[in-house]
A = this chain, B = another copy of it.
Amino acid sequence: MADGDHAMDAAGLEAFLAAEFPQVAGQFAVEGLTAEGAVLRLKVTEGHLRPGGTVSGPNIFALADLAVYCAILARIGPQALTVTTSAAIDFMRKPAAGVDLIGEARLLKLGRVLAVGDVLIRSEGSAAVAARASVTYSIPPAR
């Protein structure tokens, strides 16, 4: 997807998430926007772990889901009702203990009705991919 003007920047996305998703926004940070999408951080705490000391699958999923959401909203603006319709995720390596997770999303399609992105998730400072996901969102018609 070619670069283009962004409808929202990283600070605008963070403010939007804090207002619309108060339950979870504090766990995440919008690290930045790229030509292709968005980079999100999961601030890993004890509450995100599962047996074996690794970040639980649902928390990794949440990071992937949110990274694609931000990549879309960066283009179309603050449409809270943009909702996930499907996702596929592969968990490939145990994330490093006690390290934040970084999710890099790229938007592959931004259609009238559906948007599709994929995400690579790594422990901060690691080159190895811990998980990958592809996520499809439905964009509300009142756009």
A34 within 8 A of B: no
Residue from A2, A23, A52, A127 having most chain B Cβ neighbours under 10 A: A23
Copy total for this chain: 4
Size bracket, chain A contacts: 35 or more
Q: Is the CB of A86 within 8 A of B90?
A: yes
Query: Taking A84-B91, A86-B89, A90-B85 as contacts, is the C-beta distance between A21 and B134 under 8 angstroms?
Result: no
The A interface, classified by DSSP as helix, strand, loop or mixed, is: mixed
Chain A, residues 4-22, CB within 8 Å of chain B (1/0): the string is 0000000000000000110
The residue on B at minimum CB distance from A94 is B83
Distance A87 CA – B134 CA, assembled complex (angstroms): 11
